[in-house]
Amino acid sequence: MNKPLILVVEDDSSVKNLITTTLKAHDYRHLTAPNGKAAILEASSHNPDIVLLDLGLPDIDGVDVIKKIRTWSNMPIIVISARSEDTDKIDALDAGADDYLTKPFSVEELLARLRVTQRRIAMMESESSAGAAVFSNGQLRIDYAAGCAYLNEQELHLTPIEYKLLCILSQNVGKVLTHTYITQKIWGHS
């Protein structure tokens, strides 16, 4: 299984370096954003699997970043913040964060939370592929279990890559997919 792509949103360079060094050491792919606007841009253009988000950003509060991302995506968001009050945690979780880690934190706890999030992602993906055995939209029908696609009830003769691409697009209707995301899903690399 490929390691997920993680977006690290952190304006404190020492914390960012700790997180990115840890991710590199454990073979996670990652990208960074120093503020809220960059985080929203990176999240929308690279479609990361997990977002690690600081709340105290220089331009936009992290809770507002969560709310903005939630308008178009359910990507897991783990807050990593020095804000330790219950109200701060509740606000972030109610805005759509999936988890909350208070600074200072241990590297081991961060890695454990990433593993939990990966398991949740894998479980959701297997449930969605098992739950929807057939995709149908107008004249197009895809039978995932049989590995066949039909247009106007006539079987389409697709190459394996064409079929994978069709499946990816049909499982992400209404979403913008980047070239990197599609390449990774088809070939397992970017």
**Residue 35 and residue 83 in one domain:** yes
CATH code assigned at 16: 3.40.50.2300
**Residue 172 and residue 81 in one domain:** no
**Residue 35 and residue 117 in one domain:** yes
Confidence bin at 189 (pLDDT 50/70/90): low
Angle at 164 between CA 177 and CA 134, to 5 degrees: 95
Encode pLDDT of 107-152 as tens digits: 999 999 999 999 888 877 766 555 567 888 889 999 887 788 999 9
pTM of the model: 0.70
**Residue 57 and residue 121 in one domain:** yes
Euclidean distance between CA atoms 66 and 48, whole angstroms: 14
Chosen domain end from 126, 151, 166 = 126
Encode pLDDT of 47-90 as tens digits: 899 999 999 999 999 999 999 999 888 899 999 999 999 999 99
**What are the residue ranges of helices labelled H in the chain?**
13-25, 36-46, 62-70, 86-95, 107-131, 160-170, 179-187
The burial class, CB within 10 Å (0-12 / 13-18 / 19+), for 115 is: exposed
**Residue 40 and residue 99 in one domain:** yes
Does residue 143 sit in helix, strand or coil?
strand
Angle at 15 between CA 25 and CA 101, to 5 degrees: 90
* Torsion on CA atoms 144, 150, 154, 157, rounded to nearest 10: -80
CATH code assigned at 183: 1.10.10.10
Chosen domain end from 81, 108, 126 = 126
- The per-residue pLDDT for 126 is 66
Angle at 90 between CA 6 and CA 79, to 5 degrees: 15
**Residue 93 and residue 121 in one domain:** yes
**Residue 105 and residue 152 in one domain:** no
Euclidean distance between CA atoms 103 and 117, whole angstroms: 19
- The per-residue pLDDT of the chain, averaged, comes to 90
How many domains, in total, are found in the chain? 2
**Residue 106 and residue 37 in one domain:** yes
- The per-residue pLDDT for 128 is 59
**Residue 31 and residue 69 in one domain:** yes
The domain in which residue 49 lies consists of: 5-126
**Residue 10 and residue 89 in one domain:** yes
Euclidean distance between CA atoms 86 and 107, whole angstroms: 22
pLDDT at 2 over 80: no
